[in-house]
Structure 1
Amino acid sequence: MTRRHSGRYLAGAAALVAATAVPVSLLAATGSAQAAASAKDVTANLFMWNWNSVASECTNVLGPDGYAAVQVAPPEDSMTDAADGHPWWEIYQPVDYNLTSRMGNDAQFQAMVTACHQAGVKVYVDAVLNHMARQDGNDTSYGGASYTPGTAYPAFSSPDFHNYPNDCPVSSDQISDWNNYQQVTECELDALPDLRTESTYVRTTEAAYLNKLIGYGVDGFRLDAAKHIGHTDLAALEGMLNKDKLTGQPVYMVQEVALGSTNTQLQPASFENTGSLIGFDYADAIKTQFSSGGDLANFGGFATWSLIPSAYSSTFVNNHDTERDGSNLSYKNGSTYVLANEFLLAWGFGTPQVYASFTWNNSNDSPPADANGYVTGTNCASGWYCTDRITGVANMVGWHNLALANNDPVANWYTDGTNLIAFSRGPDAWISLNNESSAQTRTFTTGLPDGTYCDIIHGSVSGSACTGPTVTVSGNRATVTVPANDAVAIDRNSRVPGSPASTFTVNINANATTSWGQNVYIVGSIPALGSWNTANAVALSSQNYPYWTAALSVPANTYFEYKYIKIDASGNVIWESGSNRFYTTGSSGSITFNDTWHS
């Protein structure tokens, strides 16, 4: 069984139209069912981590690194399929709404919510409400409940399910036309008994389950197969829910609405009134641009792409469905996958989600578990891929939060025309991503103040030092070597305290004739040259006239532009003609500029 049905790509992926416009800035989420704008909004999707491991991760990693929320797997009591090795999709076949799942029991779940809240991390729960378990060779749940598929469960019986011919118009009870609203919402998805969600009893039962979780402190829900529940039923169910205990506002809702339908009733836009939406189209775009043959330069035309609006989109690189069917990138893509997650956090579109889960060889594989199927503790060194902990990804959460807090737009866009890009988020943060096969060295405009910064992709500020490489910024610019299939990123919070910038000596020897009372100066783009302010230009000595000389200390590894000017006793300024002169300093040493005044 797979959870991503055949209707996913009926119309293909969203069209990606490249343009030359600089991308739009971050849009804040609006609407009662969406996440409120705040200084942090990144979710860590810890798929199938058990509750004790989630609690530990919130305390030791997610909270300290600035994650806003954690999304956890469905906690309902589900069917168990020992004969097939306890495949992961068991948890999407609920039998009862008691919290006796593969990930832990009720008490452990409550303790996890408490621990995450104490770490400043919200908890979002994956909720399976569209259907109940089908028969797969076993009619007993993890909690020991027995059931008869489509007929009898602890909370539901036959009248609580859609069936042919009363509801589903197809005799097999299965969806045959993915563009037919009635079939999609009242026939079975993958032979899973479809709940009659228009029933007051069904709605009341499901609302009671969600309200129990809200009472435990849960802050929001991922609504599995929301497309198959339908608009009216979703709105009615949400209207029965209690408010968030912490904020007093409606809890966060993000809906799984698969792409591909030509029927407007079944397209993501028609679900915007009941919550945010899983950004499948964004993940598709990420794969297109980062995969072999992709072109990161096309992100420069991002504003024209046909995507779910930023305010409604829960953006991601992959999730539990898409990593298995090959439609999106996964950890198996190595450095490209990491680079894509770093871009996700940098770009500032939608509400980003970082996915961390178990490794697998076959699409149905179970996570590491005991003989009875209960998931064992997460070990990031064996059996699990903890994307949320990777240095570059974890540090980019803080980078992202800084840009979010100041509502910084994308600025200082650069591309080499293919797969090297760079941009800043206002004056607070800068990144360059290189998806090419060799290292690339460029001088970039970063927008950041002068100083020495820790490259947070490869290290962190520790005391007054950086545990990795550093970047020197002078005059808003920095000369940086970006490794192959890698990134370099800095922000205001990564400036190394008290560390002086390395310097490089520039000897000036400029040939310029002057009139009585005139003197020659040099002025340029960096503070050491006055930042183009003639009042702060550097005076040159006329001792060797007509050669004007000086020895200047400027930042190392820095690109700058400059010109010579003449200023008379009255303060009148004459600029030499022609284009700006320019130079990039090395890491050490000196250079002599044997220049001649451009008349």
Structure 2
Amino acid sequence: MLRRSVVVAAVAVALALGLSACASAAAQPKESASIPAGITGVGVEMFQRPWTSIGTECGSTLGPAGFSWVLTSPPQEHITGTQWWTSYQPVSYTVDSKLGTEQQFADMVKACRAAGVKVIADAVINHMTAQGAGTGFAGTAFTKYAYPGLYGPKDFHHCTLTPDGSIQDYTSRAQVQTCELVGLADLDTASAHVRTTIAGYLTHLLGLGVAGFRIDAAKHMAAEDVAAIVAMLPKGTPVISEVIRGAEEPIQPEEYTRIGQVFEFAYARELGPQLTAGVLMDPARADHVPSASAVVFVDNHDTERGDAAVTYRDGPLDLMADALMLADDYGTPVVYSGYAFSDPDAGPPQDASGHVTGWECAGATGPKASYADGEGVCAEAWKSIAGMIEWRDAAGAAERRPGVSKGAAYGFERTGRAVIAANPGSSPATLAVPTTLPAGTYCDVIADGPSMDGCAGGATVRVSDGAATFDLDAGQTAAIHLGATG
């Protein structure tokens, strides 16, 4: 989690700025000797989508498109308000929120599982709220350090390292892991009672059919605390820890790979600026965790409000970034699907009762030139994303060969299986990508979507003399694979 907005404009600014000081890479700590099994396949984060909406989308879109898992927003009672970040200020572990009831959540999980899509729930376990007192969405009364049936003052860190008890220095491990993140009441996750209470909540979600968890703000908990909580769950439960890599900071993602996978923020920081500069090149990855430990993304609900170089506002570049990520042989990819906003604090549309109303994605086939505030981006429904999931399946475990470029155009092959080319430049380009694919005519699954039965849309690429020749307009991406021929 980036720095959360609380109730004042200064905190909103902190959120927008995020952890920009963390942008450059740091030296890797020693890698764990073993890597736990994690979530696989292609995921999609459906940010602030109601449970009923996700359940419907699993059957109509996610399953048919080939998504393996969906990441939901946090399923617990939270403070009231229209801002998106209210979901990240828990007041109880009751599964009743602006996104729906426990029964609706369970029905969603069941519908997704029936469609072959696993549910990964965002777990906010580092902290509770920053509010002095109030009543939660489901009616729970609380104060900042007292939550009925859960926690009292002794269950929290009460940091004396800074004047206001909040984190001020990210080079201080003690501050990052015992002081408050923008005033949010910081749970003492070294406490046996706190660990047991959190594990009980996560176990309840598993009982509702959840497959695993995103551990929000994992960086703000000692790795041994996270490990102890996860050890109370059934063996093999997938977890993905949010640990933002920061230059010259003592806490790095590598500390958490012995627990499960981690979000590798360096991936987007490398890819995004290349796209906006119009100069693509082979990745360096000197500061990345091992591929099996990495969950990668172009942007997410935090970074699109902070330091993401490419977001839904960039249209073809956003699609290009997702396509290149899905074509890569590094990490487990998660596509991001949120909603448009001009105010970074703005939540999605809500009804008079405060419930999120959701949005329909029927008819959405690709990125739009512009969006109205509150309108769903619907990336999960883009035909090019489904085409690239098919492309990724066709590529399988084939190695990524070194890329080639000509001007702004760049492309690479997954040996003998699939080829992709992209042109982030402002002028058309022709690029010949060396390939071991057999000579012939291949379907462009970016332009036409999945095409195992022939090039229904008519967009094709010719392979001859050991090269796939792509004629690319400015901002265009094209991709072919062994199973889609004309």
Residue 333 of structure 2 aligns to a residue whose secondary structure is: strand
Identity within the alignment, %: 36
TM-score, normalised with respect to structure 1:
0.73
Q: Which has the larger radius of gyration?
A: 1
Match for 2:123: what amino acid? A
Aligned residues: 459
Question: How far does residue 256 in structure 1 lie from its aligned partner after superposition?
Answer: 1.0
Question: How far does residue 160 in structure 1 lie from its aligned partner after superposition?
Answer: 1.1
Q: How does 1:103-182 map to 2 (within 5 A)?
A: 103-135=99-131, 139-164=134-159, 168-182=160-174
The structure 2 residue matched to 1:14, chosen from 25, 39, 51, is: 25
Match for 1:110: what amino acid? A
**Cα deviations by residue, 1:326-383 (Å, 9 ceiling, x for unpaired):** 4332101121111111111112211111000111111001112212321113223671
Match for 1:446: what amino acid? T
Contact 1:152–1:158, Cα closer than 8 Å, also in 2: no
Question: How far does residue 96 in structure 1 lie from its aligned partner after superposition?
Answer: 0.5
- d(CA) in 1 for partners of 2:50, 2:35: 30
1:334 alignment partner in structure 2: 315
- d(CA) in 2 for partners of 1:412, 1:256: 30
1:234 alignment partner in structure 2: 226
**Cα deviations by residue, 1:516-539 (Å, 9 ceiling, x for unpaired):** xxxxxxxxxxxxxxxxxxxxxxxx
The structure 2 residue matched to 1:434, chosen from 423, 427, 452, is: 423
Match for 1:295: what amino acid? V
1:504 alignment partner in structure 2: none
- d(CA) in 1 for partners of 2:52, 2:156: 35
1:258 alignment partner in structure 2: 244
Contact 1:449–1:475, Cα closer than 8 Å, also in 2: no
Residue 287 of structure 2 aligns to a residue whose secondary structure is: coil
Residue 197 of structure 1 aligns to a residue whose secondary structure is: coil
Question: How far does residue 9 in structure 1 lie from its aligned partner after superposition?
Answer: 3.6
Question: How far does residue 154 in structure 1 lie from its aligned partner after superposition?
Answer: 4.1
Contact 1:46–1:72, Cα closer than 8 Å, also in 2: yes
- d(CA) in 1 for partners of 2:131, 2:402: 57
Question: How far does residue 307 in structure 1 lie from its aligned partner after superposition?
Answer: 2.4
Match for 1:230: what amino acid? A
Q: How does 1:444-523 map to 2 (within 5 A)?
A: 444-460=433-449, 461=451, 463-496=453-486
- d(CA) in 2 for partners of 1:285, 1:352: 15
By relative contact order (CA 8 Å, sep 6+), the higher-ranking structure is: 2
The structure 1 residue matched to 2:92, chosen from 84, 96, 102, is: 96
- d(CA) in 2 for partners of 1:493, 1:389: 22
Q: Which moved more, 1:2-11 or 1:207-216?
A: 2-11
1:545 alignment partner in structure 2: none
Call closer, same or farther: CA 1:275–1:103 in 2, change over 3 Å: same
Contact 2:44–2:70, Cα closer than 8 Å, also in 1: yes
Call closer, same or farther: CA 1:304–1:128 in 2, change over 3 Å: closer
Q: How does 1:167-566 map to 2 (within 5 A)?
A: 168-243=160-235, 250-260=236-246, 262-264=248-250, 266-291=251-276, 293-296=277-280, 299-300=281-282, 302-303=283-284, 305-380=286-361, 383-403=375-395, 405=396, 407-411=397-401, 413-416=403-406, 418-460=407-449, 461=451, 463-496=453-486
Question: How far does residue 268 in structure 1 lie from its aligned partner after superposition?
Answer: 1.6
Match for 2:312: what amino acid? Y
Structure with higher strand content? 1
Question: How far does residue 232 in structure 1 lie from its aligned partner after superposition?
Answer: 1.7
| 1:58 is aligned to 2:42 | no
Q: How does 1:25-44 map to 2 (within 5 A)?
A: 31=34, 33-35=36-38, 41-44=41-44
Call closer, same or farther: CA 1:146–1:463 in 2, change over 3 Å: same
Residue 352 of structure 1 aligns to a residue whose secondary structure is: strand
Contact 1:66–1:401, Cα closer than 8 Å, also in 2: no
TM-score, normalised with respect to structure 2:
0.89
Structure 2 unaligned spans of 5+: 6-11, 365-371
CA RMSD, 1 decimal: 2.3
**Cα deviations by residue, 1:295-326 (Å, 9 ceiling, x for unpaired):** 20xx32x2463323322221100000100124
Contact 1:179–1:261, Cα closer than 8 Å, also in 2: no
**Cα deviations by residue, 1:441-480 (Å, 9 ceiling, x for unpaired):** 2333332223322111111437555224122323443433
